Amino acid sequence: MTEDGGSRIEPGEVDEPSVGDRLLRTYVKGWMERDTVKILGTLDPECVVVESHGPVYRGKDRVAKWIDAWFGEGNSIESWDITGLLVTAEAAAMEWRFTCTWHGRPASFEGASVARFSNAGITYLREYQTVAELYDWDGAWRD
| Alpha carbon distance 113, 129 (integer Å) | 9
Integer angstrom CA distances of residue 38 from 11, 23, 52, 53, 129 = 20, 10, 22, 24, 24
Q: pLDDT tens for the chain, 143 residues: list them.
A: 444 444 444 444 444 558 999 999 999 999 999 999 999 999 999 999 999 999 999 999 999 999 999 999 999 999 999 999 999 989 999 999 999 999 999 999 999 999 999 999 999 999 999 999 889 999 999 87
Domains detected in the chain: 13-129 (3.10.450.50)
The pLDDT value given to residue 11 = 42
Half-sphere exposure of 118 (CA within 13 A, CB side): 10
The pLDDT value given to residue 17 = 59
- Residue 128 φ then ψ, to 5°: -130, 135
What pTM did the predictor assign?
Answer: 0.85
Query: Would you call 142 helix, strand, or coil by DSSP?
Result: coil
The pLDDT value given to residue 18 = 86
